[in-house]
Amino acid sequence: QPWRSPGEPQALFSFPAPRWPVECEVIQETIEHIEWVPPQPEPFCPPVGPEQAPYTLGEEQGTVVYHSSPALQGSCFTRARVGGAPGPLSSPAAPLEGPQDTTLLFESRFESGNLQKAIKVGPYEYVLTLRPDLYTAKHTQWFYFRVQNTRREPLYRFTIANMAKPKSLYGQGLRPLLYSQQDAQGHGIGWRRVGTDIRYYRGSAGEPPVFRLSWTVRFPHDGDTCFFAACYPYTYSDLQRYLRALAADPARSRYCTVRALCRSLAGNTVYLLTITSPGGAAGKRVVVASARVHPSESSGSWAMRGFLDFLLSSHADAQLLRRLFVFKVVPMLNPDGVVVGNSRCSLAGRDPNRAYETALPSSFPGVWHLRAMVRRVLAEREVVLYCDFHGHSRKNNVFMYGCDASGDSARTRLRQRVFPLMLSKNAPDKFSFTSCKFQVQKNKEGTGRVSMWRLGVSHSYTLEVAFSGSTLGRKSYHFSMEDLESLGRLLCDTLLDFCDPAPAKLQQCLAEADALLQRQMGRELGSGGSWSDVAPSELESSTSGSDSSVSDG
């Protein structure tokens, strides 16, 4: 019942525990982190010069102190259960020899964790291997793991030995995240940026090449339990806790329903939220938003949470948005990938954001049912905007990808650029319009953005949020959770600007986009005439596109 009024009574939705492939061992502890915003913006790490390898002992000379690798039966997913593998857990960490043993104890058999192996190559030095996406041999980018038995004084070095991408923001100042359990419990301090002497460099000379991320760090306490992560984790259970609180809130549940769009391959629910003012959807246009088709891009989930928080608030602009539109929101398209700690793929072993045009419901249920829902909606009313929330590991700031077809009229092509341009004005310290791209490349035809545009959603975008932060102010700084959540509110502000019945803002942005394109054409092509005669591929360089272009294989 896609258009049932959210004001009608509804049974509370159930939120069962996550289901895991039966090959995956899962520890019983519940992993939760407090939310915290640093009192000052956290600066980028100063560059260390040429990206050369720090001296480290060979892995063959070290001692394996942690090894956890699912025993995958065959090369494809077969079945899942709550809690993963049945039976007693193995012991992947080497036991300590006594209280004087300073070896770190590693663990990652929890939601979104993905450490495969740790080798101790020095008293306080470790070489780490990430587990590839399940049922694949590649896509190593995300990391999230726990260490215990810490010492406060020594300088530790960690080196992840099998990163997949040749370029990374770690070479431009991005720092890893650390969470200290003692600091969280005693001082209310959560995730923070740490690390010195951060290097990203090519490892072995083999094919395909692998790359190494190395950093040094001092732990804040003796005997602490700490976590490292590539970006602020946002797990499937985090989403369920959010939705459970939403369903139990009598005020917000009046204008928001939570339903199942479908079930994932493992049987986890892909949730669909419908948000609009009570009284029905007659005459309202639709806005569709989605996130986490790529599991590693947790920054997209924090931006999505900010989007939902604002839409469901009592703010006057939020009330106006609910009166004007019906919002269809899928906050986690690939829950299986998020649960198991994949970087890019679902349990089908492929990237779901390349499968919109060819997806079968049995292989890629999330994207298939999202596309089918949008097609049904379009048969009844206009979808004014589709936005797919992503994270980006190679470009700073926030930016968008849109869809520009050279066969369209000049005004239609300009209109594609208006929403991102308006967002850049609302978020000048975070959003970079010059980083936006609008070319529709052949290898992106299977993405959500292009697929929705082909269906008839005239303004279809990917929102890309850097894993790092902003370089647009006087100083470069990392995004905090608060920064990421603010993007959701700013997106709502921009939607009101974009749909303002008074034409002044639209006309101003159309004129500005026209002038920008004309200048860009003159600079890059060195010719007269109009930009509207030029194909999108000629207007844009192809050097910095989607975050996937170097790793899809």
Residues annotated as part of the active site: 464
CB 6 within 8 A of CB 247: no
Give yes or no for a cis peptide into 208 (omega within 30° of 0).
yes
Specify the 3-state DSSP secondary structure of 178: strand
Between CA 287 and CA 386 the distance in angstroms is 6
Q: Which 3-state string (H, E, C) describes 482-497?
A: HHHHHHHHHHHHHHHH
What CA dihedral angle connects 371, 373, 379 and 381, to 10 degrees?
-110
Specify the 3-state DSSP secondary structure of 452: helix
Single-letter amino acid code for the residue at 461 = Y
What are the C-alpha distances in Å from 375 to residues 1, 270, 330, 455, 542?
Answer: 15, 18, 15, 7, 31
Between CA 391 and CA 395 the distance in angstroms is 10
Task: Show the DSSP H helices in 100-228 as ranges.
Answer: 181-187
Single-letter amino acid code for the residue at 482 = E
Q: Give burial (CB, 10 Å; 0-12/13-18/19+) of 446.
A: middle
Residue 417: enclosing H or E segment and its boundaries? Answer: helix 410-426
**Which residues does residue 43 pair with via DSSP β-bridges, in sequence order?**
477
Between CA 299 and CA 199 the distance in angstroms is 22
Q: Which of 499, 325, 308 is nearest to 422 (CA)?
A: 499
* φ, ψ for residue 210, nearest 5 deg: -120, 160
